[in-house]
Structure 1
Amino acid sequence: MTRAKKIIKKRLKEPDEFITLTERAFLFVTHHTKSIAVGAGIVLVLLLSIFFFQKWEMKNEGSAYQMLNLVMESYQMVSSPYREGSPQEYKNVLEGLNEVITKFPGTSSGKLAILYKGNAYLRLGEFDEAIKAYEVYLEKAGKERLYRSFAMEGLGYSYEGKKNYEKAMHAYQRVLDLGESFQLANAHLGLGRCYEKMGKTKEALEHYKSFIKISQKSQMANIVLRKISSLEK
C-alpha cells in the first residue's frame, strides 16, 4: 500500500508533456507578440498587393484589347485585298499600333500590336523596320505557335524583299520546323522562290511540289504547277 502511494506521488510530480508544450507555446506567443503581428501584417499586405495587381492587370488587358481592336479596324481597311491603302494610311495605322505598344507593353494585345507593326512596315516596303518588329515580337511573344509562325513568315518576306535569300530561307525553314500545319504550304512556297532565285532548280522543284501536295486546291496551285512545268523543261 505504501509503495503504491509512492508511485502515484512520483507520477504526479512528473510534468505532463502536453501541458508543458502548451505552456511553451503560450510563453513564445507572449514574448513574440509584436514580431508575430508584424509578420501577419506583411503577409496581409502581400496578399492584398497580389489581389489588386491581378485586378489592375485584368483591367489593363481589357483596355489594351479595346484600343487594339479600334486600330485593327483601320488596319483591315488599308490591307484589304480589294483596296491597297496609301502610305499615309499605313503610317496612321502605325501610329495607332505604337500607341498600344507604348501604353500597354506587357499585355497580350500590346505584344500582338508589334506583330501587326511588322506587317504594316512590310506592306510599305520598309523591310529593315519590318525585320526589327518581327524580331522584337519573337523575343517577347509566348509559345503561341500560330502567331510565331506568322512572324517568322514575315521575316522571310522581308529578307526576300532585301534579296537576302539565305536569311529568308532560314526564316521559312523555321516555320517548317515549328510544324504549324496552317503555314507549311506558304513556307514551302517561300523556300521554292528563294532556291529558284539562287539558281538551285532541283531544290526549288522539291519545295514547289511539296506546296502542291499540301495545298493543291489553293488559288496559287495553278501558278505553281506552271512554274514546275517551266523548271522541268
Structure 2
Amino acid sequence: MAKKKRVTRKQLLKEPDEFLTVSARAIQFVASNQRSVFVTLIGVIVVALAFAGFRYFSNLSERKAYAMFEQGRLHYLAGISGHKASDAQEKAIEQFEAVIREYPSTHAAQLSLIAYADMSYRKGDYQKAIELYQKALGAFSGEGAIQKLIWDGIAYAYEAQKDYKSAAEYFQRITDTQDEFMKADAYYNLARMHEALNNQEKALKAYNCLVQDYPESVSFQIAKEKVLRLKGALTSK
C-alpha cells in the first residue's frame, strides 16, 4: 500500500481555502455577501427617515420634494426586491435625480443622495456612488449611525474599484468610533483590505480585534481561522 503523503503546515498556509472548516466556509459565504445586507439596511434607514421627515416638515417645497421622493422610494424598494429590478432602478434614479436637482435644500434631497448612491453601486457605477455618498456625508455629518452607513458604502465602492487602500481608510473610520454599531463587520472588512494589500501584520491585528471583542459576530469563526493562518505565515517567514 502506498504511503499517504503528509500535508505540511507550510502547505496548509499556502492553500488556506482548501482547509477551511465547514462552519468557516458557511460564515465566509455570509461575510462575502455583506453588501447585500447593507443594501437592505440602507433601504430600511431611508424608509424610516422618509416617514419621520414627512411628519416633521410642513412647507410646500418639502411636501413636493417628499412626494417625488416617495415615488422614487417605491421604485427603489422594488429594485431591491428584484421585481422588474432594472426598470425599477431606472425609475428610482430619475425620481432621486429630480429631487436633488429641483429641491436641493430639502431633507428629501438628502435622503435621495443616499438612495441614489446605493442604486449607482448596484448598477456598477462605483465612482458615481462614491461622489453621491460624499455629498451625503455633508448632509448627515452629525448623525453617527447614518454616517457609518455612508462610510461603509464608500468603502465597498472603493473595494469594487480595487482601491483597497481607500476602502481600508473608510472601514477604519468605523472601527475608530466609540459606539459599537457596525464595528465587528468593519474590523472584518478592514482585515480583508489589508490582506488584499498584502499587509499581513495589519490584517492580523484587525482579525484579532474582531476575535477578542466580538465573539458573537457572524464572522468570528472565519476570523479565528485567519488569525491562526496569518500567525503561522508570519512565523514561517
Q: What's the TM-score once normalised by structure 1's chain length?
A: 0.65
Deviation at 1:213, TM superposition (A): 4.2
Q: Against the structure 1 CA distance between its residues 63 and 209, is the aligned structure 2 distance closer, same or farther, given a 3 Å change threshold?
A: farther
5 Å-filtered alignment, 1:168-187, equals 168-187=167-186
Residue equivalent to 1:44: none
Residue equivalent to 1:19: none
Residue equivalent to 1:74: 75
Is 1:144 the counterpart of 2:143? The answer is yes
**Aligned-residue CA RMSD (Å):** 2.7
Q: Against the structure 1 CA distance between its residues 62 and 222, is the aligned structure 2 distance closer, same or farther, given a 3 Å change threshold?
A: farther
Deviation at 1:198, TM superposition (A): 1.1
Percent of pairs identical after alignment? Answer: 24
Select the structure with the greater relative contact order (CA < 8 A; seq sep ≥ 6).
2
1:156-208 alpha-carbon deviations (Å, 9 max, x no partner): 11111111111111212222334342122222122111101111122112212
CA distance in 2, matches of 1:151, 1:141: 9
CA distance in 1, matches of 2:65, 2:178: 30
Residue correspondences, number: 177
Task: Indicate if the aligned counterparts of 2:191 and 2:207 stay in contact, CA closer than 8 A.
Answer: yes
CA distance in 1, matches of 2:83, 2:186: 24
Residue equivalent to 1:65: 66
Task: Indicate if the aligned counterparts of 2:191 and 2:204 stay in contact, CA closer than 8 A.
Answer: yes
SS of residue paired to 1:130 = helix
5 Å-filtered alignment, 1:27-176, equals 58-80=59-81, 83=82, 86-176=85-175
- Gap runs ≥5 in structure 2: 1-56, 233-237
CA distance in 1, matches of 2:172, 2:143: 18
1:57-77 alpha-carbon deviations (Å, 9 max, x no partner): 633334433432332232223
Task: Indicate if the aligned counterparts of 2:69 and 2:99 stay in contact, CA closer than 8 A.
Answer: yes
Is 1:208 the counterpart of 2:193? The answer is no
Task: Indicate if the aligned counterparts of 1:156 and 1:190 stay in contact, CA closer than 8 A.
Answer: no
**Larger of the two Rg values belongs to structure:** 1
